[in-house]
Amino acid sequence: MEAVDYFGEKLKFEIDPPGIEELMKSGDKDYIIVDTRGRNAFREGHIPTAISMPIEELRDKFAELPKDKKIILYCYNITCLRAPKAALFLARNGYDNIVELIGGFEEWSKRGHKVEPGQ
């Protein structure tokens, strides 16, 4: 695979914080944001509208996720593998509209985007 092909394909499955912010402001409702971190981390703060589905619960709960919407997955930070592992699992189970938030929650909050507490 050539570098141009690799990076072209890679970008199809990634989104950055401004991309999510733009989606939120657009009024588009054809997406769902999934936090793959642990429940305590979710309670401390998460991206607005995100649902909590820790990677440990994914096998039992993934059928709750709609297949007709874009699924945006995130975890702690750029070195966290929870979101890519969740994406691979979902792809193997028939989901094909999946993207990963690059940098995870750390990048989202570091850039000053809104964070919701609780749940």
Name the pairing type of β-strands 14-15 and 98-101.
parallel
Asked if 103 contacts 16 with a C-beta cutoff of 8 angstroms, the reply is: yes
Chain centre to alpha carbon of residue 109:
14
Respond yes or no: is residue 75 known to be catalytic.
Answer: yes
What whole-number distance in Å separates Cα of residue 74 and Cα of residue 35? 5
What is the token pair recorded at 101?
A: 């938030």
What is the token pair recorded at 69?
A: 């919407």
What whole-number distance in Å separates Cα of residue 37 and Cα of residue 1? 32
Using DSSP's 3-state secondary structure scheme, residue 21 falls into helix
Q: Select which of 53, 75, 83, 101 is catalytic.
A: 75
Residues catalogued as catalytic: 75
